[in-house]
Amino acid sequence: MRPAVAADAVRVRDIARRAYARYVERIGREPAPMVADFDTHIDRGEVTVAERPGGIAGYIVAYPRENDYFVENVAVDPVFAGAGIGRALMAHAEVAAVQAGSKVVRLYTNVAMVENFPFYEALGYRKTHEATEAGFHRVYFEKSLE
C-alpha cells in the first residue's frame, strides 16, 4: 500500500473502468467511480494504491470528514479479483481512520451492485439507509471502530 501519485491517475482510472463496467447496463449509465476526478483526489492525498508485482492492482479513495472517515470508492482490477486486495484496502482505510481520530467508517454502494453488500457485511459493516443522490440510488453502510 502506498499513497497514489499523479502518475498513477491513468492506471487508477483504468481500474475503475474495468471494475465497474459490468454495472453500466444494470444502472443505466456509468457508475460514479467511472467518471470520478481522480486527479483531484490524488492531489488531496485521498487515494491509496495496492501494488503487486507488475503494477497497481487496486485503489481506495478515502478521507476523514467531520464526523467519520469516508470510503468514497474502492476497486480492484478484475484480473486480481478474489486475491484479498479489496479486503486489504478496506483494512488500510480503517487503520487510517483510527489514526485520523475517527470512530466510524462510512461508505456507500449503488443499490444495483448487490455483490458488494455481503463483502461489506463480512467486514463488519452494517447497512444504515438508502438515498438517491446525483441520480444514483445508494445504500449506505457504516462500521464502528470503537
DSSP string, 37-98: -HHHHHHTT-EEEEEETTEEEEEEEEEE-SSSEEEEEEEE-GGGTTSSHHHHHHHHHHHHHH
Please name the amino acid found at residue 136.
F
Residue 9 C-alpha cell reads as: 491517475
Residue 35 C-alpha cell reads as: 467518471
Ranges of each domain in the chain = 2-102
Report if pTM > 0.75.
yes
Share of the chain above pLDDT 70, in %: 100
The CA distance from 43 to 45, in Å, is 5
Query: What are the tens digits of pLDDT across the range 31-52?
Result: 988 999 999 999 999 999 999 9
The CA distance from 67 to 89, in Å, is 21
**What pLDDT shows up at residue 134?**
82
- Per-residue pLDDT, averaged over 136-142, amounts to 94
The CA distance from 14 to 70, in Å, is 22
> Which fold, 2-102?
Aminopeptidase (3.40.630)
Contact call for residues 110 and 31 (beta carbons, < 8 A): yes
